[in-house]
Structure 1
Amino acid sequence: MNAAPNPRQIEAEQLRRIRARLAAVAPGNWRRAADDMGEMIVGEDEHGALITLMRCDAATFEEVEFMAASPAMVGFLLALLDRAIEALRKTPPNAETGQGSRREGAAPDYAAEAAMKCAEPAFKAFLEQRHGLERPLTDERAAQKLRSVLGITSRSELNQNTDAADRWRALRQDFQAWRKAG
């Protein structure tokens, strides 16, 4: 009788396949283009010549942008995941559980939380809709708008200034309510 696959093993295998797929399209410098036949995504062959990867006749602007940016986005997310795993490996184990984690009673890292939120498309849309974030909705613009909305010059203030932390928690609650409202 075969044992059921371990969920972590399944996830590890899926992650391995994603890395292999990204490596297969390297360098993955895709971009949008257009010709007399319409929108397309282009890349470069091994000699640097532009090649048409796909035609996008019925896709929206956002869909074409997403497809063109997908190798860079996947690479970014994999690098972020690798850094998070490395940080977890370096975190001293909790004496009670034996697992690495923030110790109970330790102060929350609002600066890191805010940085992660500024990378979330939904949070950027919230900042655009509720606080006038201008397009393009980049991480840096989101961070700049966040600092402006919270009245801070650096996200690190969220860990040092209780008033700034209170404003961050309130904004975070507003975002959650906005997200639930759809």
Structure 2
Amino acid sequence: MNAAVSSHGAALSPDAARLKAVRASLEAISPAVWLRAQDESGPLIEARADYGEIVVLARFSEHASPDEVAFAADAPDTVRFLLRLLDQAFAKIRTLRPEAQRDNPAIGEPAARSPKNFAAECALKCQDARFKVYLEEKHGLERPLTNERVEQRVRSILGVQSRKELNDGGQAAERWKALRADFAAWLKVNR
């Protein structure tokens, strides 16, 4: 069995690989607006297809409880909510980590600061559904909002052939910082 690999070549942990798969699954069914309904055959979940027609996604037996039907129908929203919480937690951890590493009490002097890994940060942003919508609205990213299209658009915006160039410093890193700041400003308005 092949291990999942991150965008910078390192093998992902099983949990990270599973999280990546969950994000990809949610992206594949986007916008995933599911509605509970009922017909003569019983409870069901339906959604609107690309051209507005209603399609039945799932039917339940008469033994399914309303809570079970609701749980299944709400699954995409629940997953989006949990991924958003994880993204916020990871962002907070990244902001706190430098503070914890600032002083190394075992040595009694400041710890050496590792350079910022903008390439890894960019790779994470490219998987964020909100970042994809931002690129669509502000930078003309065309649908479907796949990871590959996002990565290509970001490389084009930043004027790089590879995200690795972001770690070389210079103009590419500055353009990434500006794009990241514009995205953060967009998020504040579009929450």
Q: Normalised by the size of structure 2, how large is the TM-score?
A: 0.47
Where relative contact order (Cα < 8 A, 6+ residues apart) is larger, the structure is: 2
